[in-house]
Structure 1
Amino acid sequence: MDSQTVEINSRNRWERRFNLLDELTLFLHITEVGSYSVTAQGEGVKAEMLIEPFLTSRPDNYRAPPYQPSGHPWRLDPGYYILKVRPELKGIVTLSIAASGEADQKNSERFNQLLNNLINPTAKTTTANGVMAANRYPRIPLQRSNAYTLYLNQQPGVRSGMVLRPLPIDLSQP
């Protein structure tokens, strides 16, 4: 199994600005137990969110959790999840996902991290993960006798998929 997901924990957050026109999905990989908040900010934009476990098939009695407003804390265990964002008022939005919880403790930790970074510039601080700004051509050996499933995020107005080509890749091909 290979994955390219947004990895979130107490040290890594994710933030991206885009046009929220319809429901979108984003795969998350939570690496630490904790409380995480999703916020949607933008002038005149309002959205509600839902985080649920990534399941390739749902149990018969599965019920998705309800959508929640921006800033709602989600208590999550390590694992893969799907974030769904549904606009109530469409527009340009900045979507952020970060560890939440006791705000004063987190603010104190961030202050200490910034202070330590001034003293030691190589110290690790909270980072915001954004767009993967490069094409990736991983070497994944496929066998004709096996079936494969590709799960993709859904973003309104964006078409995505996969093209299989033998290596080495000829970038002059469409």
Structure 2
Amino acid sequence: MPHQETSLRDRKRRAVQDEVTRAAVELFIANGFDETPVEKIAVAVGMSERTFFRYFSTKDDVLERLSAHWRTHTTQLLVDRPADEPTWIAIRRALDAFVESTTTDDFALPLLRLLYTTPHLYGRHMLKMRLWREGFVAAIQQRRPDEAEQTVRIQAAVAVACFESAREAWVACDGERPLAELLDAAMAEVWPIA
């Protein structure tokens, strides 16, 4: 019985975090990150500022929650790819869910634009890219335990560089070119993906 209570509590917590995240992202996009105080986010979801801090330590953590979700999900998708699939193709296919979600999410493009143009957020974003790289390293090592560590680290670093280059290009063209196409082009510069 305690397990069910914890599970229900966790589900309620995640639901509140989802609601706060959505409201915060909308406010960040509309008003700017620095111009959106925690108090305004709390009011938007009908809670006190104190209650907000039960769910997030800072407003930066709201954005980290989104990034952490996709890092974890994509890394697991990479681990789950067929064992005989070449690493480069497995990485590209593991990114499919992220690319599809990003393309269909109405806030993805303006949020990325905000990340790239707000110095504080961009610095944190670059730290998150390191976490993506470390996640890919762990996933590749799990898939290919005999691969040299340096080779794995290079594969992961180059994959994240291609991923980030594609997202930057997507923002630069204001979404006119599909993100999947831009990612394919970036990765194909390094190694064939077809």
Normalising by the residue count of structure 2, what TM-score does the alignment of the two structures yield? 0.21
Higher normalized strand content (fraction of residues) = 1
Normalising by the residue count of structure 1, what TM-score does the alignment of the two structures yield? 0.22
Q: Which has the bigger relative contact order, CA under 8 A and spacing at least 6?
A: 1
